[in-house]
């Protein structure tokens, strides 16, 4: 078994209101960053997993997203990176 | 001015306790995912910015992190990706 570091992005699904992102956009405008048109805020999860290979670590991470980490109704996730450590 | 999508990872600084990550690790163990040794949870921010080029978009995003998005005492950030849209 090797150790892998799996990075996951969990973001609000497109089309679903992201009130936290809207609040940050407004705050950035107040600070003078008028070039910002939109902000989406999600979670960046980094898992330290033991697995026989990178593909198994990826599969395990997807299962964890489906069962616990992401809300299947309002959020999308993607496995951003799997790297050996 | 072109439009760029800037992805930012904001994570708790190494060595600082991450209670949310600890709670998720415990929950994953309860669900049978015993291969998970550690979980770190941060924020994944996606900004939609108008800028003359990718380097300017990167610089603007770093300034936003310093001024608003990241807590300089407890968090580290990295600009993960700058892509034209």
Q: Structural domains in chain B?
A: 2-84 (3.30.1280.10)
Q: Is B42 left (phi over 0), alpha (psi -120 to 50) or beta?
A: beta
Q: Does B60 touch chain A (CB under 8 A)?
A: yes
Q: Does B14 touch chain A (CB under 8 A)?
A: no
Task: Report the alpha-carbon distance of residue B13 to residue B42 in Å, rounded.
Answer: 10
| Cα–Cα nearest to B5, from B51, B69, B42, B65 | B51
| pLDDT higher than threshold 90 for residue A1 | no
Point out the residue among A9, A28, A43 whose CB comes nearest to the CB of B64: A28
Mean pLDDT of A14-19: 90
pLDDT confidence bin for B66, thresholds 50/70/90: very high
Residues of A in contact with B27 (CB under 8 A): 68
Q: Do B43 and A38 touch (CB under 8 A)?
A: no
CA distance A81 to chain B (A): 11
Six-digit token string for B41? 């949870």
Q: Which residues contact B34 (CB under 8 A, 6 or more apart)?
A: none
| pLDDT higher than threshold 90 for residue A23 | yes
Q: What is the ipTM of this complex?
A: 0.89
Mean pLDDT of B28-41: 96
Q: Do A43 and B43 touch (CB under 8 A)?
A: yes
- pTM value is 0.90
pLDDT at B1: 85
CA dihedral A56, A65, A37, B79 (to 10 degrees): -40
pLDDT at A14: 86
Q: Does A3 touch chain B (CB under 8 A)?
A: yes
CB B44 within 8 A of CB B7: yes
DSSP conformation letters of chain B: -EEEEEEEEEEEPTTS--HHHHHHHHHHHHTT-TTEEEEEEEEEEEEEEEESSHHHHHHHHHHHIIIIIS-TTTEEEEEEEEEE-
């Amino acid at each position: 078994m090797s150790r892998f570091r799996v990075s996951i992005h969990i973001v609000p699904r497109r089309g679903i209101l992201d009130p936290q992102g809207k609040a940050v956009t407004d705050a950035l405008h107040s600070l003078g960053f008028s070039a910002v048109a939109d902000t989406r805020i999600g979670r960046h999860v980094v898992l330290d997993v033991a697995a026989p290979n990178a593909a198994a670590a990826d599969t395990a991470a997807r299962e964890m997203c489906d069962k616990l980490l992401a809300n299947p109704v309002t959020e999308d996730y993607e496995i951003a990176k799997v790297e050996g450590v």
